[in-house]
């Protein structure tokens, strides 16, 4: 197998396809149940409300919508989440991404080693804070995959390839995503409007998705730095909180009336509630097994 960086002429659509294939076995596993209710296979955490970049296709580009507040998740919330998930036997996976750059979070080692006792952890980063020492420390923790989005150019492939070699990190621990492209290639990302928050690029009309079934609420949930939970990572304006982890247990939120209301709507192809009515996300990339499981009991 060649080294990453041997061939700098990458195909952004192929990168997206390979990443979807890599994640499918994790997100589309057979559902785990608690009290007859399918549990999520994927929990996304937003650890810090800041990013060192402001990409054109990201809501962070507009400070009126997504200002850098530097708020961060505290250990007491991490411990509470761990207890809630441990109590229901959760053994799914975690995505450390959300609304900020996770490597700016100073307590990352504590969180990953704590939650890593329950399931796989994947970190998604722009790679800017990385160096040989830091990447080695992440590898030695309970993190299972480090996904680095490359926004500057193909020279970053060589940069991170060399960093991995010097730190003696196996190639399969890191996924590099080429995202330095111009609008004609959608910046190398799978563009969405983030529930009506951004309109950059060649995006499909929201009207085409009004009656499209969405799997998001069947297999995943988003938890913000303060414990507020949201339907999915598309809701960048945080319009609808399902409850707070510090005030309710995780399962009470996952199986709560608000989540049930949205889940039933989306499973039946009805996106008439906010923020879903403004969303143009596909909603069916992952989660079909969980969708089928919920469809039987709703």
Token pair recorded at residue 56: 């054109």
Res 104: pLDDT: 98
Res 5: pLDDT: 44
pLDDT confidence band for 44 (50 / 70 / 90)? very high
What sign has the CA pseudo-torsion 282, 288, 290, 296? positive
Radius of gyration of the chain (CA): 19
Q: How far apart are CA 118 and CA 7, in angstroms?
A: 37
Token pair recorded at residue 232: 């999915």
∠ Cα 191 199 209 (to 5°) = 65
pLDDT confidence band for 9 (50 / 70 / 90)? low
Give the helix/strand (H/E) hosting 260. Answer: helix 257-267
Helix spans in 118-198 (H):
132-140, 155-167
pTM of the predicted model over 0.75: yes
**Cα separations in angstroms, 82 against 69, 243, 256, 260, 294:** 25, 17, 19, 23, 25
pLDDT tens-digit series, residues 180-213: 988 877 888 888 999 999 988 888 899 999 999 9
Burial of 171 (0-12, 13-18, 19+ CB in 10 A): middle
Mean pLDDT of the chain: 94
Contact in structure between 161 and 4 (CB atoms under 8 Å): yes
């Amino acid at each position: 197998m060649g080294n990453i960086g041997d061939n700098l002429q990458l195909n952004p659509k192929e990168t997206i396809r390979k990443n979807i294939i890599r994640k499918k076995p994790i997100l589309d596993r057979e559902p785990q149940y608690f009290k007859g209710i399918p549990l999520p296979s994927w929990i996304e955490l937003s650890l810090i409300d800041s990013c060192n970049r402001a990409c054109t296709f990201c809501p962070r580009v507009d400070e009126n919508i997504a200002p850098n507040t530097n708020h961060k998740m505290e250990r007491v919330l991490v411990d509470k989440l761990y207890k809630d998930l441990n109590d229901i036997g959760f053994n799914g996976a975690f995505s450390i991404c959300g609304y900020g750059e996770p490597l700016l979070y100073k307590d990352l080692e504590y969180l990953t080693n704590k939650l890593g006792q329950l399931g796989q952890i994947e970190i998604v980063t722009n790679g800017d804070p990385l160096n040989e020492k830091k990447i080695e420390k992440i590898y030695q923790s309970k993190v299972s995959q480090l996904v680095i989005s490359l926004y500057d150019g193909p020279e970053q492939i060589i940069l991170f390839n060399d960093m991995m070699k010097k730190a003696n990190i196996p190639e399969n621990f890191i996924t590099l995503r080429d995202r330095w492209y111009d609008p004609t290639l959608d910046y190398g990302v799978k563009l969405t409007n983030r529930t009506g928050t951004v309109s950059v690029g060649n995006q499909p009309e929201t009207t085409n998705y009004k009656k499209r079934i969405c799997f998001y609420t069947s297999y995943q949930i988003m938890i913000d730095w303060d414990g507020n939970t949201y339907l999915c990572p598309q809701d960048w304006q945080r319009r609808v909180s399902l409850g707070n982890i510090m005030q309710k247990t995780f399962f009470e939120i996952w199986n709560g009336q608000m989540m049930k209301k949205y889940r039933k709507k989306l499973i039946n192809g009805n996106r008439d509630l906010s923020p879903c009515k403004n969303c143009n996300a596909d909603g069916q990339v992952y989660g079909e097994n969980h969708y089928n499981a919920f469809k039987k009991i709703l």
